[in-house]
Structure 1
């Protein structure tokens, strides 16, 4: 089924984890995909450079000017942008109390997790407004809803992403553009693997299903959220938490 035939998607954090899974899902369903990541080697290793339907771009996603340039590069290459999926993210230091968090680490996490999503959305919204169509998906986290002890920077940055989603969903509700978020619980990705095991156990124990989510589950839900079928839901945070969040 070619759900996204003729559409153009931009996926950040596409070299690994949820971003990689979503990129492969969109490609499999017919989309042309611009793949953004700091890890240029990882992008070319996964996707190569010769295919007509992929455009790997190495980028520091916290550089607003570079983000704006890249979005124009995508339009010049593919002709349009229909979908933006913001997957790039870092946890920062974890398993520490709030008074132990360094300001530098907090600022870095916010730049990567929140400001980059603001920069990319700011750059693509005028393109989508001109088309009278668009789908934006910000990958948030259950930590942004509930807060994870020992993860102040990450939890607060993802709460900010959820807040931005609500604002943007309302602002563009009459334009043909939907803006939604996805809040996963623990999904085994390189980001999670890099965390202290005690922190991962703390998070997994809160899940009623008592297991991690899978990358396929994340990609399948993300694909629906950014599809034309999802036309009457905007400003919403979709749950992917194995029953942990029920609100």
Structure 2
């Protein structure tokens, strides 16, 4: 019950969604947590709801100087950083075709999803090296593992997180700093609806989720708590010999299709695909 007792963790994008789930689980495991987010109201509300072990720092991870200040303020307040969860991310706009992509949000997607993770990894690692070790957990996506026809800038940014994390894991291993990735998939958050360019965003997101459900081997839907449990494992002593890995938390989606041969035949011969 106290796997992280006495440890200090930072969770970016911690005001809501997956980040809030991770922060809540870490507090339950005995950690003190700094949650960072651009949403001050939600961040302060989450910190208040999770109790005295949590403080909030408004941070835009797309600005490396703010990430540096976040980590330094954590060190100044609590004495160090043992766990860094780089979770903050944005989706970018979903276009029907790559040929319709206008790249207007490319810089934002890359700055938040990739530069922000790189800055968080570097700033936390500098302190962890001095302390003799630590755990850095970078949240990527199954979109960074498996190719697809939509949100291509997002996929590119998340693939970059994976390659960067593996490379840094090699570089920091001699200092006892572990760097791993979690790749969530098919877990309801506001990110998917936020990717819809126009129209009924919630309704279209629901349709996409239903398709995801059909292609997911495990038939129950994932939750933020599933990602939080994976983060707890990678943060704690049970993963002391684990670094440079990408852990999908996706109900088996990246393992392969659950369709039976007869199901594929029916889809292939149907006039319309549901």
- Name the CA distance, whole Å, in 2 between partners of 1:115 and 1:34: 20
Instruction: Tell me if 1:188 matches 2:197.
Output: no
1:206 Cα deviation (Å)? Answer: 2.6
Q: What is the count of residue pairs matched by the alignment?
A: 247
Contact kept in structure 2, 1:94 and 1:199, CA below 8 Å: no
**Residue 78 (structure 1) shift:** 0.3
- Return 54-63 or 79-88, whichever deviates more: 54-63
Cα 1:50–1:150 change in 2 (3 A) is closer
Q: Which runs of 4 or more aligned residues in structure 1 lie more than 6 Å from their structure 2 counterparts after TM superposition?
A: none
Secondary structure, in 3 states, of the residue corresponding to 2:237? coil
Q: Distance in 2 between matches of 1:204 and 1:122?
A: 36
Post-superposition offset of 1:203 = 3.5
Q: Tell me the residue number matched to 1:207.
A: 216
CA contact (8 A) 2:7 2:32 kept: yes
Structure 1 range deviating more: 174-183 or 194-203? 194-203
Change (3 A) 1:193 1:114: same
The normalised TM-score by structure 2 is: 0.85
Which stretches in structure 2 are left out of the alignment for 5+ residues? 196-203, 257-274
SS at 1:138's partner residue?
A: strand
Q: How many angstroms does 1:11 deviate by? A: 0.2
Q: CA deviation at 1:112?
A: 1.1
Residues 180 and 237, structure 1, Cα contact 8 Å, conserved in 2: yes
Superposed displacement of residue 147, structure 1: 2.1
Residue of structure 1 in register with 2:67 after alignment: 67
Matched residue SS, 1:174: helix
TM-score, normalized by length of structure 1? 0.94
Q: What is the CA RMSD across the aligned residues, in angstroms?
A: 1.8
Q: Is 1:78 aligned with 2:87?
A: no
Is 2:239 aligned against 1:230? yes
Instruction: Give CA deviations for 1:53-86 in whole Å, capped at 9, x if unaligned.
Output: 2220111111111111121111000000000001
Are the aligned partners of 2:92 and 2:106 in contact in 1 as well (CA < 8 Å)?
yes
Query: Residue 56 of structure 2 aligns to a residue in which SS?
Result: strand
**Counterpart for residue 169 of structure 1:** 169
- Whether the 8 Å CA contact 2:34–2:56 is kept in 1: the answer is yes
Distance 1:87 1:188 in 2: 15
Which of residues 226, 239, 242 is equivalent to 2:248?
Answer: 239
How far apart in 2 are the matches of 1:231 and 1:82? 13
> Secondary structure in 2 aligned to 1:68?
helix
> Which has a greater percent of helix?
2
Give the equivalent residue in structure 2 for 1:220. Answer: 229
Deviation string, structure 1 residues 145-184 (Cα, Å, up to 9, x no partner):
0023212011111100111111011111222111000111
